[in-house]
């Protein structure tokens, strides 16, 4: 049996002051555009993990709207060998907080129009996030 690791995160959105939908993207330490996510801690539900990681990485307090999807893959860990990883993504509405990147972990975080967010994902994102962001946008009524 491989060791199992669970992470969770979200496609975070809000309605801006102009009434327009905005999508949150993070720039990670490698300069890639990505979504807030992180590892589950003991005693947490997967939903709690997603909201805690979003708060820690971006400063935003979110509310889970619905699940988006799960990305599953296996990677080689130096100590444990093959690890089966699951990343659970949710559609999350940002309800409060001050947008503030967790500088130890990431380079930046910002709000984008859905079109900008999709363009940045296409140019500078991770391929396995394409379907996550597309599905999240679709759930918000936006087709890309």
pLDDT score of 99: 83
pLDDT score of 45: 98
Query: Which residues, other chains included, contact 78 with Cβ-Cβ below 8 Å and sequence gap of 6+?
Result: none
The burial class, CB within 10 Å (0-12 / 13-18 / 19+), for 121 is buried
Mean pLDDT by 10 residues, the chain (144 residues): 94 92 95 96 97 96 98 94 97 92 86 97 96 97 92
Structure tokens at 105: 């972990």
Tally Cβ neighbours within 10 Å of residue 140.
15
For the chain, which residues make up each domain, given as ranges?
Answer: 3-139
Q: Which fold has domain 3-139?
A: Nucleoside Triphosphate Pyrophosphohydrolase (3.90.79)
Tally Cβ neighbours within 10 Å of residue 114.
20
pLDDT score of 36: 96
pLDDT score of 66: 98
pLDDT score of 9: 98
* Pairing state between β 3-15 and 81-97: parallel
């Amino acid at each position: 049996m491989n060791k199992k690791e669970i992470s969770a995160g979200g496609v975070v959105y809000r309605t801006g002051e102009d009434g327009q939908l905005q999508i949150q993207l993070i720039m990670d330490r490698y300069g890639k555009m990505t979504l807030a996510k992180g590892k589950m801690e003991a005693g947490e539900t997967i939903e709690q993990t997603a909201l805690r990681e979003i708060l820690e990485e971006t400063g935003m307090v979110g509310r889970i709207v619905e699940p988006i999807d799960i990305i599953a893959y296996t990677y080689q860990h130096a100590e444990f060998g093959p690890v089966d990883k699951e990343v659970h993504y949710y559609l999350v509405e940002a309800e409060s907080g001050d947008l503030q990147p967790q500088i130890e972990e990431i380079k930046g975080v910002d709000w984008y129009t859905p079109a900008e967010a999709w363009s940045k994902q296409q140019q500078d994102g991770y391929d396995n996030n394409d379907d996550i962001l597309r599905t999240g946008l679709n759930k918000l009524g936006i087709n890309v």
